[in-house]
Amino acid sequence: MKRGLALLLLLAGCGGGGAPEQACTRQADDDPAVRELIIKGAGNPQFQLENQRKLREARQDAALACLRTRGLAPKGGVERPK
């Protein structure tokens, strides 16, 4: 019983992303490029449909930039083609 509880607590502490990653993901919506796409798409379903990929990429870029400023971004990697 105690082992099961200890294992459960250990797994709960190993959640996907930590607090800094989650904070950067939330902060990404405040990025100017992301805000611009959100505002342009407000009330315009056609724009939203056509620009889903751009919005997703802008959010990913903003979150990565946030992680880099905190020194938490993964090293190396390949930049997405533009």
Looking at the domain assignment, is residue 27 inside a domain? Answer: yes
pLDDT tens figures, 2-58: 554 444 444 444 445 578 889 999 999 999 999 999 999 999 999 999 999 999 999
pTM of the model: 0.70
Would you mind telling me the total number of residues written for the chain in this entry? Answer: 82
How many domains is the chain partitioned into structurally? 1
Note down the domain range covering 45: 18-69
| DSSP annotation of 29 | G
Looking at the domain assignment, is residue 12 inside a domain? Answer: no
Give the C-alpha distances (Å, rounded to integers) separating 13 from 7, 8, 18, 70, 73.
10, 9, 9, 21, 21
Task: Find the angle CA(35)-CA(38)-CA(63) to the nearest 5 degrees.
Answer: 55
Looking at the domain assignment, is residue 47 inside a domain? Answer: yes
Reported as a pLDDT band with limits 50, 70 and 90, residue 74 is confident
